Amino acid sequence: MVEENKTSVAYTDDNIRHLSDMEHVRTRPGMYIGRLGDGKLPEDGIYVLLKEVIDNSIDEFKMNEGTRIEIEIEDNLRVSVRDYGRGIPQGKLVEAVSVLNTGGKYDSKAFKKSVGLNGVGIKAVNALSSKFEVKSFREGKVRSLTFEKGIKKTDKTTKSNDEQGTYIYFEPDNTLFKNYCFQDDIVVTMLRNYTYLNTGLTIMYNGHRILSRHGLKDLLTDNMTVDPLYPIVHMKGDDIEIAFTHTNQYGEEYYSFVNGQHTTQGGTHQSAFKEHIAKTIKEFFGKYEYGDIRNGIVAAIAINVEEPVFESQTKIKLGSTVMAPGGDTINKFVGDFIKTNVDNFMHIHKEDFTDILENKIKETERERKAMAGVTKLARERAKKANLHNRKLRDCRIH
């Protein structure tokens, strides 16, 4: 019997490595921002970096601190973001931008309904940028830090008469994001979504003003490619906003957000909306199937949740089941709002909404039944044709 040669691999103390926070982000970027990419797709990493910076400015706006954000992207490569919030506390500025799990959002009293709660976002931007600069303007002083690939290079504090707030500059590292380029249309869509969710906020992007006066109603108006069958229904309440209409197009289209974050893959809030909008309309009429009710719908929902849980660091799908620790479930909260408000709306707006909606549902129902009849007839004919050949039998008939 021949004995196999086995190579022994040494496993000693020298094999155990400790990575600094910034090294870990650079070594495993996918854990923090998902895919890297080059900027051709909205989910590419450079847009996640931009979003992480803007999210902090949006959180300031949501806390009633600063109504203007200025964003410049030079040559589609270099980004600067200036807000006019409170400014990052200067004594902890280094930790705030370079030490993971450090932040002011763990205490919900400071940032009650923030999208960035895990102390990662801006640090990932720092680590994954070839150049990164942060300035905090507070109380007549500005503290400025510069980094290269997450390593601190300079730290200065001087007097300043500038408005308080925060300035961030970053250049994504092109050794990670190969041949990257910020696409203007993707950036504009992202920024418009921020303004739809935050009426009263003005974003200046490369000198152009972006704002929304009617929230989710504007979102649907700007994104629909066909005319609605009835005027967009737009409703707002504490921590929730919805807008919807129907078109003659087939299928369903949804936009969903939580704490200002565009959840492109939906989640518990979107599922609750789909369930309860159909349930409320069905109960009003006392008939019709959910699929017929929702066919042709174009809708948007936004909610604010304490301590939101997402299914990944990129925050594109909401996993939370409750509005707040110990509070109502998201399903109940959304359902109660829709049941009360949509049902009342249907009673009040019979001619300009309810009748039009029912006609649309009836039309969908007729088309579905007609299509089912055609499919059934085609199936029966195919079965008869196959049975004429003794060697072929319908697999469902034995």
359 or 32: which leads in pLDDT: 359
- Return mean pLDDT, the chain: 87
How far apart CA 319 and CA 325 sit, in angstroms, is: 14
How far apart CA 191 and CA 181 sit, in angstroms, is: 17
Based on the domain organization, do 105 and 37 belong to the same domain?
Answer: yes
* Residue 315: CATH number of its domain: 3.30.230.10
How far apart CA 112 and CA 332 sit, in angstroms, is: 21
Q: Which domain holds residue 302?
A: 216-360
How far apart CA 24 and CA 17 sit, in angstroms, is: 11
Q: Which of 210, 225, 246 is the last residue of a domain?
A: 210
Q: What does the pLDDT look like over 96-121, one tens digit per residue?
A: 998 886 665 555 555 566 655 445 68
Q: Which of these ranges, 24-33, 143-152, 251-260, 295-304, has the smallest mean pLDDT?
A: 24-33
Based on the domain organization, do 229 and 203 belong to the same domain?
Answer: no
Maximum alpha-carbon separation in the chain:
94
Q: Which whole number is the average pLDDT over 233-262?
A: 93
Based on the domain organization, do 242 and 285 belong to the same domain?
Answer: yes
pTM of the model as a whole: 0.81
Q: Which of 156, 177, 210 is the last residue of a domain?
A: 210
In a domain, 246, yes or no: yes
Residue 269 has pLDDT above 60, yes or no: yes
pLDDT of amino acid 6: 63
367 or 243: which leads in pLDDT: 243
In a domain, 14, yes or no: no
Q: Which whole number is the average pLDDT over 244-256?
A: 94
Based on the domain organization, do 351 and 224 belong to the same domain?
Answer: yes
Based on the domain organization, do 251 and 164 belong to the same domain?
Answer: no
Q: What does the pLDDT look like over 322-363, one tens digit per residue?
A: 999 999 999 999 999 999 999 999 999 988 899 999 999 999
* Residue 61: CATH number of its domain: 3.30.565.10
Q: What does the pLDDT look like over 227-239, one tens digit per residue?
A: 999 999 999 999 9
Q: 224 pLDDT band (50/70/90 cuts)? A: very high
In a domain, 392, yes or no: no
pLDDT of amino acid 70: 97
Based on the domain organization, do 36 and 149 belong to the same domain?
Answer: yes
**Cα angle vertex 212, ends 342, 305, to 5°?**
55
pLDDT of amino acid 59: 86
Based on the domain organization, do 155 and 254 belong to the same domain?
Answer: no
In a domain, 94, yes or no: yes
Q: Which whole number is the average pLDDT over 243-248?
A: 96
In a domain, 371, yes or no: no
Q: What does the pLDDT look like over 179-204, one tens digit per residue?
A: 999 999 999 999 999 999 999 999 99
Total domain count, the chain = 2
Based on the domain organization, do 102 and 86 belong to the same domain?
Answer: yes
Q: Which whole number is the average pLDDT over 249-267?
A: 91
Q: 309 pLDDT band (50/70/90 cuts)? A: confident
Based on the domain organization, do 39 and 185 belong to the same domain?
Answer: yes
